[in-house]
């Protein structure tokens, strides 16, 4: 066990889980991984190029800007798939054109990576930025002990409160188990 882990060097307040919403100013990104995301109905509809399913999901209350564990929005999915009609539809429903995922990629970057020139052009006309967004590191990924004090990570949100509670509980359990193994402790 590390003697001075990063999570013992962070002071609150910590994030509270508010559902699968982006944690970055641009509307993307997700630091709460470990399977705790939304239903991703619109993500799946975008990958399947199903406009009716996108519209139905929004009518039923799904968030057009929902993020999954890597911080991608449905617009990332439509851009990746080269689905121009879907990109137009999502934008008309309020999708954030410049939401960046945890790696800093925006939907425009995903279209570029897949050679989707039509989608790239459409997104540019809608105001897409070609600049990379800020990088995020999920709560459960180990960090250097002074991670949150470094200037280059000043943009990074603090960990989620439930993660910090879990992490400290795990430390106590490990300490208890270690003490059982050492005679006389």
Residues 29, 133 contacting (CB under 8 angstroms): yes
> Where do the domains of the chain lie, and which CATH numbers do they carry?
6-181 (1.25.40.20)
Considering only CA atoms, give the Rg of the chain: 20
pLDDT tens, position by position, 76-91: 999 999 999 999 999 9
Q: Is the pLDDT of residue 11 over 90?
A: no
pTM higher than the cut 0.85: no
Q: Is the pLDDT of residue 3 over 80?
A: no
**Of all helices (H) and strands (E), which one includes residue 45?**
helix 41-47
Predicted confidence band of residue 184 (pLDDT cuts 50, 70, 90): low
**Mean pLDDT score of the chain, rounded to an integer?**
89
- How far apart are alpha carbons 86 and 74 in whole angstroms? 9
Q: Shortest CA distance to 20 belongs to which of 70, 60, 58?
A: 70
- Comparing 42-46, 113-117, 154-158, which segment has the lowest mean pLDDT? 154-158
Average confidence (pLDDT) over 55-67: 95
pLDDT at 120: 98
Higher pLDDT: 29 or 72? It is: 72
pLDDT at 34: 56
pLDDT at 91: 98
Residues 55, 83 contacting (CB under 8 angstroms): no
């Amino acid at each position: 066990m590390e003697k001075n882990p990063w999570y013992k060097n962070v002071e609150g307040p910590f994030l509270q889980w508010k559902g699968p919403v982006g944690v970055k100013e641009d509307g993307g990104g997700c630091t709460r991984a470990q399977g705790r995301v939304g239903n991703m109905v619109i993500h799946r509809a975008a990958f399947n190029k199903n406009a009716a399913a996108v519209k139905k999901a929004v009518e039923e209350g799904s968030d057009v800007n929902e993020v999954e564990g890597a911080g991608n929005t449905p617009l990332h999915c439509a851009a990746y798939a080269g689905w121009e009609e879907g990109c137009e539809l999502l934008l008309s429903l309020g999708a954030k054109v410049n939401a960046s995922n945890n790696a800093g990629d925006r939907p425009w970057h995903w279209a570029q990576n897949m050679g989707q020139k039509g989608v790239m052009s459409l997104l540019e006309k809608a105001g897409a930025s070609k600049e990379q967004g800020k990088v995020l590191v999920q709560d459960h990924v180990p960090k250097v002990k002074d991670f949150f004090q470094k200037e280059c990570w000043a943009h990074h949100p603090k960990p989620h409160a439930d993660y910090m509670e879990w992490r400290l509980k795990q430390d106590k359990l490990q300490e208890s188990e270690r003490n059982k193994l050492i005679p006389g402790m």
